[in-house]
Structure 1
Amino acid sequence: MLKRVIQQFQLDVLATSEVEDSHSSTVYKCTLSNGENVYLKIPFTKLKYQRELEAYEILKGKVSIPEMINYWSGDEECPGAFLLSELKGKPLTSAAKPTTAFQVGVLHAKMHSTQPPSEQVLNGMKNEFPNWSHFIDQQFYSFAEDAKYILDERLYQKAIEKFERMKQQLPLSDGPSFIHMDFRPANIIVDNEQVSGVIDFESVRFGSTEVDFSKLYRDFLSYDSSLYSAYQRGYNSIRPLIDLEKVLPFYRFTDAFNSIGWCKRRGNQEHALFLEENLARLKKWLL
Structure 2
Amino acid sequence: MDKLQETIDKFKLNVLAVENVPQSFSSTVYKILLMDNRTVFIKIPYSKQKLEREYSVLKRIANDLPVPQVLDYWEGNEDITGALLLSAINGVPIIEKVDSALAFDIGVHHAKLHAIAPNEHDFNSSVSNEYDHWSEFIKRQFNSFAIDVKEVVEPSLYELSLQYFNKQIKLLPPPDGPCFIHLDFRPGNILVHENKVVGIIDFESVRIGSTDMDFTKINRDIFLKYPGTLQAYQQGYGSIRALVDLQEVFPFYHFTDAFISIGWCKRRGIEKHQAFLQENLVYLKGILNVK
What corresponds to 1:21 in structure 2?
23
What corresponds to 2:203 in structure 1?
201
Structure 1 SS opposite 2:266? helix
- TM-score under structure 2 length normalisation: 0.96
Superposition RMSD in Å: 1.2
Deviations 1:86-135 (A, max 9, x none): 11121124513322111110110011112322135644210100000000
Structure 2 gaps of 5+ residues are none
Contact kept, 8 Å, 1:19 with 1:29, in 2: the verdict is: yes
Structure 2 SS opposite 1:66? coil
Kindly report structure 1 stretches of 4+ aligned residues shifted beyond 4 Å.
none
Deviations 1:175-216 (A, max 9, x none): 110000100000000011121111001111000000000101
What corresponds to 1:241 in structure 2?
243
Structure 2 SS opposite 1:273? helix
What corresponds to 1:109 in structure 2?
111
- TM-score under structure 1 length normalisation: 0.97
Distance 2:89 2:22 in 1: 16
Distance 1:120 1:269 in 2: 40
Identity %: 46
What corresponds to 1:132 in structure 2?
134
Q: How does 1:78-89 map to 2 (within 5 A)?
A: 78-89=80-91
Structure 2 SS opposite 1:213? helix
Distance 2:98 2:148 in 1: 35
What corresponds to 2:50 in structure 1?
48
Distance 1:9 1:210 in 2: 39
Distance 1:195 1:242 in 2: 22
Distance 1:72 1:7 in 2: 11
Moved more, 248-257 or 99-108: 99-108
Moved more, 45-54 or 242-251: 45-54
What corresponds to 2:10 in structure 1?
8
What corresponds to 1:222 in structure 2?
224
What corresponds to 1:274 in structure 2?
276
Contact kept, 8 Å, 2:123 with 2:129, in 1: the verdict is: no
Distance 2:119 2:12 in 1: 33
What corresponds to 2:180 in structure 1?
178
Structure 1 gaps of 5+ residues are none
